Structure 1
Amino acid sequence: MSNRFNCIIIILVFNTFISLAQEKRGATIPWTTYEAEDMKTTGTIMGPKYGPYQVETESSGQKCVKLVAKGQFVEFTSNTNANSMVIRFSLPDSKNGNGTNSTLCLYANGKLIKNCKIRSNYAWLYGKYPFTNSPDAGVPRHFYDEVRIKDLKVRKGDLISIKREDQEGDDAGYSIIDLVNLEDIAPPLKAPVNSLSITDKAFMENGLTTDYTQALKNCIAKAVETGKSVWIPAGTFKITGDIVLPANLTIQGAGMWYSTLAGDETLYTNMNRRVRLTGDGSNIHLADFAIVGKLNYRKDNEPNDGIVGSYGTNSTISRIWIEHTKVGMWVENSQNLKITDCRMRNTMADGINFCVGMSQSTIKNCTTRGTGDDCFAIWPATFKAQNFSPGQNLIINCTAQLPFLANGAAIYGGESNKISNCLFVDISPGSAVLISTTFPTESKDKSINNNFSGTTVVENCDIKTSGGFDHEWDWRAAVEICVDKRSIAGINMRNLNIDNSLSNGLSVIAKNGDGQIGVLTNTTLQNINISNYGIGVKGRYGLYISNDAHGSLNVKRSNIREINNVSESFTIVQ
């Protein structure tokens, strides 16, 4: 009897463990975050504020610390060993929009360990979308940038101080600190067997170069010819032109903290001289390096830089860090593409966008911060031929944080796409999750229509301090269904925790016009918990249905206070 009882207990504990493991939400984060407002400081704690065009709103937790005088600091005790650091900071812009400079000095237990020069030239945008760099346009956004620092020796219990200093060339009137990440990164990887290094003199013009564009091209060509892989060793390698990635290619780096493909700031205004890795085949594998662009403006008629193109079938993109590009990744015409463990930081537009012809592909365990458009997006557009029927894509175990425009994760059409087990935090300029027909998904000749079909699923997500002011759409809800001129059928939202929404918790809205009316059908909310909404703007609700919405919604076993349906053409079934 006792053995049977013990067996039952073990099974229950095992099942509980499995259940908890399955319910993990967000990416596995290898760093520890220290919020500036929680540190000891001689500066000024700012926030919280929740309205648009304010640095506090774009800050983590809508709070930050401002250091004005020389010697002002923030300091904290490290909870872990670490050898690298990220500081998220904001400096003022200059009157001409070219940015300012400052210095942050790092101390461990009172001893200076690093002088860190920072600039604001990759921050600050103004005016209406797609924005300008001119301060005269007003309504600023994109206040923050980040700096990566490695080769540190931080021990658990060390007192870490970050002090503002005024050194030669510094002209910033203040330094704002939002947060600090500490990470203990592994040593650099070694070159794989049967790999070719881009630093091999055989690939360089005259055996020596400071621009590795041609060397990388030559190395790729030889690797494809010989069946070997491309090796990017530790170091920073300047790239000033397009790199086309053919089928059956592997590019391996020493690690995202060690191997970097970097743009040339003096050439980056030329859209053809940027860091752009363009997929052009199947079975392409990219891993363990960083792409650092030099883009500080947005023009949508210019091609994307970062990782772009088609990756055919069965390609992988793993452990890539991308920043200061237009997008992190904008991929098309790929099936069974797996993007894992990547970091998108401070891009001018999307973090990762699955666009034309994306099928059965996955974004897993990726993080975004400071993107200038949707952190993660699925948009089955038709502006070029699609090789695969778009749908059945998955965004899973990802964390989206602090974009300065748009949403955490957005789905704009396609068949049976899914967002699962994700974490969305501080999505202040839009929705944490947006399901919308805003963008076109039908070909001009109407032979292809990639509007929503099957069942679109959003499940097992935690959503915090999201649902802010979108300049084109007013205040968005933390989770929003936008039935804009076209109908949506088949949405299943389940097991969502929505907390501290800046506006409404969840809403159904529409922008009907020209006789076009979209209708929402076959949509269910199940086990939705919404608490503490309207912290940024008054008069909001747990669930709101706008007056131009049409259709119906089923609500099951949910904790939603204050439901307000102001549409005569919409029905809520509880």
Structure 2
Amino acid sequence: MHRTVRGMPALMVVALSAGLLTATAPTAHAAAGASLPFTSVEAESATTTGTKVGPDYTQGTLASEASGRQAVRLTSGQRVEFAVPSAASAVNVSYSVPDGQSGTLDVYVNGTKLAKTLTVTSKYSYIDTGWIAGAKTHHFFDNARLLLGRNVQAGDKVAFQSTGTQVTVDVADFEQVAGAAGQPAGSVSVTSKGADPSGNGDSTQAFRDAISSAQGGVVWIPPGDYKLTSSLSGVQNVTLQGAGSWYSVVHSSRFIDQSSSSGGVHIKDFAVLGEVTERVDSNPDNFVNGSLGPNSSVSGMWLQHLKVGFWLMGNNDNLVVENNRVLDTTADGLNLNGSAHGVRVRNNFLRNQGDDSLAMWSLNGADSNSSFENNTISQPNLANGIAIYGGTDIAVRGNLISDTNALGSGIAISNQKFLDPFSPLAGTITVDGNTLVRAGAINPNWNHPMGALRVDSYDSAINATVNITNTTITDSPYSAFEFVSGGGQGHPVRNVNVTGATVRNTGTVVVQAEAQGAATFRNVTATSVGAAGVYNCPYPANSGSFALTDGGGNSGWSSAWSDCSTWPQPGQSNPDPDPGSNLAKGRPASASSSQDVYTPGKAVDGDANSYWESANNAFPQSLTVDLGSAKAVRRLVLKLPPSSAWGARTQTITVQGGTDASTSSTVVGATGYRFDPATGNTVTIALPSSTNLRYLRLSVSANTGWPAAQFSEVEAYSTS
């Protein structure tokens, strides 16, 4: 068991579709995800004598954290057998064993048992983060790799058999591993400085001496296992190079820890395996903690069992992080933590992160002109696949993200600041060509879903231009696109354009709008929508409305969820509205102006004692209520507070409306209506039988009792 240690809030990610993992194209224009040296095969698609578990999306269950939300449980003597998809000489297996247990799996190739076994353990699993609201014990899976010692061909059978310990097998990655690379000419080998390739001795000083000797050149890490007992610092103007990540292995939980560097650091082609078994946010238990300096690069690395792969602060301008594997971190895979400019993170594979797999967090300064491109992200188990927290001119392109869990979406574009000073989103945020599979989850703090792709004005309004293009969202358990102010303050989400999206088999709705603001949708097509096309219920209820502009080419999601008092459940039918119910109650309301605390939402909150009042001495004024979808409206009931303190008055009202936010027509022309406390300060207006409205607008041009427009309740009914 792992003790909990107090730390900062966390966020995370997950991934992988059933069967073979392939970087499928969201549209014909580009493939999503990384070009990987291995092919993944799901255990549930293999032959087994064990028991399939899942699918399940319930937080805290084993299947909910599995790739494809399914896996295969093996008890003693049971096996799972994979058909190898292509020539391979090595395998990496994602698995889980019960907490506190360890063991081995026997390995068979075409029925012949190998002398080698695959070690499995719970040592790096079952993480508790009690300081993170809504977190449960998580991080159930781990990865174990094995060189088979022989080549297998496409169609050959590789089986894993339990030898006593219960093992749940999730996915197997089959890889043809090239031979070990040779030492570059002129390089300084760490073994020449006394490093021990057996892994028994402490090689820390040998690495430091080699780095000092090789300034401007290459430090060579030959095949072997090297133990480092403390971190490296002062790393600059040097290349650290291994023989390949399957051959050169450094055992260290804190590889580089430095606040600054002159840069020119290039790290490539070896593995760093840590011993991090819990998350302690105050500890620098990271592959890189701090700065590599400008114009540096990291490539071909295998990073595993660390808190964070890359926790990057300070000057990392023009850093390139590519072709790496980051597995089983207790927190983020990579976090650009403020003031990163021109950084490119591309073609990486990340699996089983305990927070955001990839994040940019603009703390102390704005990350700018940086991108996450063509990465494959699988099974983050607490937060988002990719999260952008503030920053200027950021791009998220061509990524494949799957199986997010608990507190995360596949992609989050957010103004959640966590700490100050924070730089909110600015400029243009480009989200293009991404594929999201089974992304989104029930947020236990909100007790409602998070969409596969979320735009979140958590701590402040989103004023950047957010362009979301060429997106594929498949099998989202809940919604596809979510617009929310997650901090509950009702900050607006503005300037969002969603262009060219394919949504298939979404569990609830295509668009989950819970903030005031606006977005334009073009060429967004949906099939097999679970409940309704749109859930449009901004929170708080009086915070204003969210306008969805139809830019053309949309299909398959025109319906609206009709009841803002309930969340749609996956596959739930849209409830038939009660013909006697008030269609306007609790719906988003906006106004041309409001006075002090007398905001538009007070006119639709069901309380006749609270009221909306416009700016004074400035007629005409209008109040607009979004009914969610076009509805037949036959009768309006307008109220002022019933208190006798409200003297009788006449308001001149024009009833207008339409089926979209930008155009409306007159339903009932300007008429004086008398509100009299003797008759309950209530007015009823009959509408023509042909009236069909989504947006109900009441325009007030005069009021004999007060120099402003006033309503305590606006009620709309489908009955005459």
Partner of 2:73: 66
Output aligned runs, 1:56-455, within 5 Å: 56-68=63-75, 70-93=76-99, 99-113=100-114, 114-126=116-128, 128-130=130-132, 139-156=136-153, 157-166=155-164, 172=165, 174-200=166-192, 202-203=193-194, 210-224=201-215, 227-263=216-252, 274-278=254-258, 280-332=261-313, 333-382=315-364, 390-429=367-406, 430-440=408-418, 442-443=420-421, 450-455=423-428
Cα distance in structure 2, aligned partners of 1:498 and 1:302: 37
Shift of 1:356: 1.8
Letter in 1 for 2:143: E
Partner of 2:644: none
Shift of 1:472: 3.7
Q: Is the 8 A contact 2:26 2:435 kept in 1?
A: no
Shift of 1:77: 2.3
In structure 2, the CA distance between the partners of 1:406 and 1:209, relative to structure 1 (3 Å rule), is closer
Partner of 1:510: 485
SS in 2 for 1:282: coil
Shift of 1:484: 1.1
SS in 2 for 1:359: coil
Partner of 2:537: 566
Shift of 1:184: 0.3
Partner of 2:470: 495
Q: Which runs of 5+ in 2 are unaligned?
A: 1-24, 539-543, 551-720
* Residue 53, structure 1, aligned to residue 60, structure 2: yes
In structure 2, the CA distance between the partners of 1:153 and 1:470, relative to structure 1 (3 Å rule), is farther
Q: Is the 8 A contact 1:317 1:339 kept in 2?
A: yes
Output aligned runs, 1:450-465, within 5 Å: 450-465=423-438
Say which of 460, 470, 477 aligns to 1:486. 460
SS in 1 for 2:68: helix
SS in 1 for 2:158: strand
Shift of 1:195: 0.5
Shift of 1:523: 1.3
SS in 1 for 2:482: strand
Letter in 1 for 2:472: N
In structure 2, the CA distance between the partners of 1:285 and 1:141, relative to structure 1 (3 Å rule), is same
Shift of 1:442: 4.6
**How many residues are aligned here?**
507
Q: Is the 8 A contact 2:397 2:433 kept in 1?
A: yes
In structure 2, the CA distance between the partners of 1:320 and 1:22, relative to structure 1 (3 Å rule), is farther
RMSD (Å), alpha carbons: 2.3
Cα distance in structure 1, aligned partners of 2:30 and 2:234: 37
In structure 2, the CA distance between the partners of 1:377 and 1:394, relative to structure 1 (3 Å rule), is same
Q: Is the 8 A contact 2:118 2:145 kept in 1?
A: no
Letter in 2 for 1:74: V
Shift of 1:286: 0.7
In structure 2, the CA distance between the partners of 1:144 and 1:380, relative to structure 1 (3 Å rule), is same
SS in 2 for 1:79: coil
Partner of 1:41: 48
Shift of 1:127: 5.9
Shift of 1:139: 4.0
Deviation per CA, 1:378-399, whole angstroms, max 9, x where unpaired? 11111xxx5xx53010111111
Shift of 1:204: 5.7
Cα distance in structure 1, aligned partners of 2:519 and 2:59: 31
Q: Is the 8 A contact 1:241 1:276 kept in 2?
A: no
Partner of 1:7: none
Q: Is the 8 A contact 1:281 1:310 kept in 2?
A: no
Cα distance in structure 2, aligned partners of 1:100 and 1:550: 50
In structure 2, the CA distance between the partners of 1:126 and 1:390, relative to structure 1 (3 Å rule), is closer
Deviation per CA, 1:343-402, whole angstroms, max 9, x where unpaired? 1100010011111210011001011000111111111111xxx5xx53010111111110
Cα distance in structure 2, aligned partners of 1:195 and 1:21: 45
Partner of 1:169: none
Shift of 1:21: 8.5
Deviation per CA, 1:126-175, whole angstroms, max 9, x where unpaired? 463459xxxxx994311101101114313213221111113xxxxx4x11
SS in 2 for 1:312: coil
Letter in 1 for 2:512: Y
Letter in 1 for 2:255: V
Q: Which runs of 5+ in 1 are unaligned?
A: 1-17, 94-98, 132-136, 167-171, 269-273, 444-448, 535-539
Deviation per CA, 1:257-279, whole angstroms, max 9, x where unpaired? 1111103xxxx7xxxxx434546
Report which of the two structures shows the higher radius of gyration computed on alpha carbons: 2
Partner of 1:557: 523
In structure 2, the CA distance between the partners of 1:175 and 1:204, relative to structure 1 (3 Å rule), is closer
Cα distance in structure 2, aligned partners of 1:396 and 1:439: 23
Cα distance in structure 1, aligned partners of 2:442 and 2:130: 13
In structure 2, the CA distance between the partners of 1:541 and 1:280, relative to structure 1 (3 Å rule), is same
SS in 2 for 1:457: strand
In structure 2, the CA distance between the partners of 1:293 and 1:209, relative to structure 1 (3 Å rule), is closer
TM-score by length of 1: 0.84
Letter in 2 for 1:374: D
Partner of 1:446: none
In structure 2, the CA distance between the partners of 1:465 and 1:512, relative to structure 1 (3 Å rule), is closer
Say which of 28, 36, 41 aligns to 2:35. 28
Letter in 2 for 1:521: R
Cα distance in structure 2, aligned partners of 1:519 and 1:423: 29
Question: After TM superposition, where is structure 1 displaced by more than 4 Å over at least 4 residues in a row?
Answer: 18-22
Shift of 1:71: 1.5
Cα distance in structure 2, aligned partners of 1:138 and 1:394: 29
Letter in 2 for 1:71: G
In structure 2, the CA distance between the partners of 1:391 and 1:523, relative to structure 1 (3 Å rule), is same
Shift of 1:304: 3.9
Cα distance in structure 2, aligned partners of 1:20 and 1:571: 27
Q: Is the 8 A contact 2:321 2:346 kept in 1?
A: yes
In structure 2, the CA distance between the partners of 1:470 and 1:300, relative to structure 1 (3 Å rule), is farther
SS in 2 for 1:411: strand
Higher helix share: 1
Cα distance in structure 1, aligned partners of 2:173 and 2:349: 14
Letter in 2 for 1:504: S
Deviation per CA, 1:72-127, whole angstroms, max 9, x where unpaired? 1011222322111111111001xxxxx21121000112211122222111111246
In structure 2, the CA distance between the partners of 1:473 and 1:138, relative to structure 1 (3 Å rule), is closer
